[in-house]
Amino acid sequence: MADLSSSIREEAKKLLKKGEADVIIGFEKGSLPLCATPCFIRNEADVEKLIWNEFCGNNLSRYLIKAKGKVGIIAKGCDTRAIVELIKEKQVQREQIVIIGVPCEGMVDRKQIMMRCQGNKITNVEDRDERLLITGDLLNVAVKKDECLYPGCQVCTNRNPVMYDVLIGSTSEEQQTDEFTDVTNFDGKSSEERWEYITHEISKCIRCYACRNACPLCYCKECFVDTTQPQWVGKTTGQTDTLLFHIMRSIHLAGRCVECGACERACPVTVDIRKLNRKMSADVKKLFDYKTGLDIDQPAPLSTFKPDDSEEFMLDI
């Protein structure tokens, strides 16, 4: 990955200097090996903190709603898709933000690498283009970055920002994958197998809501899981309660989920949350020929009515 940090810093500095942004939301070095962390830069001296590498996984558009003033934001392809939706849903005003788009080559999953290190403490990480050399007391491994990408990044077809004010570096080559192979494969299983899989995934959930809170589109002031009057969902981690939470969340995200994978990355216990959301995306694509977050002027399919809307999902009773 070309070092884009310095270009990002320059851009950030310019925006702050000219008063075009009051704050820049970007990434700084994390406190752990293999890790970058969101940061909020308000003065020019601090732009030096900004970095860019393959660990900048967080979807920073999550912070746009609560941000005050004019905001400059570092955004990958998927992040810009979220911004498009946020603007469409009138949560963010286009004029309020300056998008510093950064073409992405897929983000590396720290936890996959940690697994390979088998509990050994990492003392040094060297970046060798395609590989990371990881050393520690009892450790010496080379990891190919593209073998440790987040699952969402592996199938992403929008690595380049879809909307931006400034573009850093040069565009990445888009992956030519069939977008929904995973969904088709899963659909091919028997209903017992699918149930088994989903309920197993759900059984791991501790209902910490990191998935929801990391999601840029889960911005409801009061989430349905939290309301008490009426109480839609029970609070336990029993199967019914947890499953209901995830199913309702994924339905609420149908046609809105931008597949950035923020939910899955945030989950501490490896729940395959994307499984449900991907199915929703595939259905929305099939029924409405719509892909989320590409075009600010394209109406959202589930909140607009068209006489010729597909009604395949209606049940004949």
Ligand X SMILES: Cc1cc2nc3c(=O)[nH]c(=O)nc-3n(C[C@H](O)[C@H](O)[C@H](O)COP(=O)(O)OP(=O)(O)OC[C@H]3O[C@@H](n4cnc5c(N)ncnc54)[C@H](O)[C@@H]3O)c2cc1C
Per CB under 8 A, the list member of 58, 80, 158, 281 interacting with other proteins is 58
Please report whether residue 77 would count as binding other proteins according to CB under 8 A.
no
- Residues 257 and 94: their CA atoms lie apart, in Å, by 19
217 binds, among other proteins, ligand SF4, ligand X, none (CB under 5 to 8 A by kind): none
- Answer yes or no whether residue 135 interacts with other proteins by CB under 8 A: no
> Per-residue x/- mask for ligand SF4, residues 242 to 281, rule CB under 6 A?
------------------------xx-x-x-x--------
Binding to ligand SF4 by residue 206, rule CB under 6 A? yes
152, 259 Cβ separation under 8 angstroms? yes
CA distance 276 to 198: 9
- Please, where are the H alpha helices in 220-273? 239-252, 262-266
> How far is the CA of 38 from the CAs of 30, 90, 187, 256, in angstroms?
8, 24, 37, 23
Contact pick of 14, 70, 194, 207 for other proteins (by CB under 8 A): 207
Write phi, then psi, for 246 (nearest 5 degrees): -70, -35
Binding mask 220-239 for ligand X (x = CB under 6 A): --x---xxxx----------
Q: Which is nearer to ligand X, 1 or 248 (CB)?
A: 248
Q: Do 143 and 132 meet the contact criterion of CB atoms below 8 Å apart?
A: yes
Nearer to ligand X, 134 or 225 (CB): 225
d(CA 17, CA 11): 10
What is the CA 63 to chain-centroid distance, rounded?
Answer: 13
- Identify which of 80, 82, 55, 84 has the alpha carbon closest to the alpha carbon of residue 167: 80
Q: Which of 269, 286, 296, 309 binds other proteins (CB under 8 A)?
A: 269
Cα–Cα distance for residue pair 294/82, rounded to 1 Å? 9
Residue 93 interface partner, choices other proteins, ligand SF4, ligand X, none, CB cut-off 5-8 Å depending on type: none
Q: Smallest gap, in angstroms, from Cβ of residue 224 to ligand X?
A: 11
Check: CB of residue 211 under 8 Å from CB of residue 264: yes
Q: Please, which residue, 186 or 209, has the CB nearer to ligand SF4?
A: 209
Q: State the DSSP code for 163.
A: S
Chain positions contacting other proteins, by CB under 8 A? 30-33, 35-40, 58, 62-63, 115, 118-122, 137-138, 204, 206-210, 212-214, 226, 228-229, 231, 234-238, 265-266, 268-270
Chain positions contacting ligand X, by CB under 6 A? 222, 226-229
Chain positions contacting ligand SF4, by CB under 6 A? 205-211, 266-267, 269, 271, 273
